[in-house]
Amino acid sequence: RKEVEQDPGPFNVPEGATVAFNCTYSNSASQSFFWYRQDCRKEPKLLMSVYSSGNEDGRFTAQLNRASQYISLLIRDSKLSDSATYLCVVKPDSNYQLIWGAGTKLIIKP
């Protein structure tokens, strides 16, 4: 079992729709969680951190479910520019490393 698992997609979603995807992690001691966004042939960029109480940044909402060991990302009113691969990242405690999911590809269609 991979340490961080994501549905690779692609998710094909019409513009304006709401889309959500999850990411599961295997290490119950993980402490920090992030969503990164990666455009085609570009480097990953931090989208948002995921806090225990859940957090929102504009149209994006991130949730953490420790009991079931997953995090989620919800995008409301999706835009064409949201098309990208979304990478789930987990950081174990007292460790410099990040554990990366393989990414979920999202395609927003007009």
Using CB under 8 A as the binding rule, the residues of this chain from 40 to 99 that contact other proteins are 42-46, 49, 87, 91, 94, 96-98
DSSP 8-state code for residue 51: -
Of 31, 52, 107, 109, which one interacts with other proteins (CB under 8 A)? 31
A 10 A CB-CB count for 31 gives 12
Q: Is the dihedral of CA 44, 99, 21, 10 positive or negative?
A: positive
Least distance from other proteins to the Cβ atom of residue 52, Å = 12
At position 36, the amino acid (one-letter code) is Y
Q: Is the dihedral of CA 12, 35, 96, 42 positive or negative?
A: positive
Local structure of 100: helix, strand or coil: strand
If one asks whether residue 11 binds other proteins (CB under 8 A), the answer comes out as no
Least distance from other proteins to the Cβ atom of residue 94, Å = 7
Least distance from other proteins to the Cβ atom of residue 77, Å = 25
Please give the residue ranges that form the binding site for other proteins (CB under 8 A): 4, 8, 31-32, 34, 42-46, 49, 87, 91, 94, 96-98, 100-103
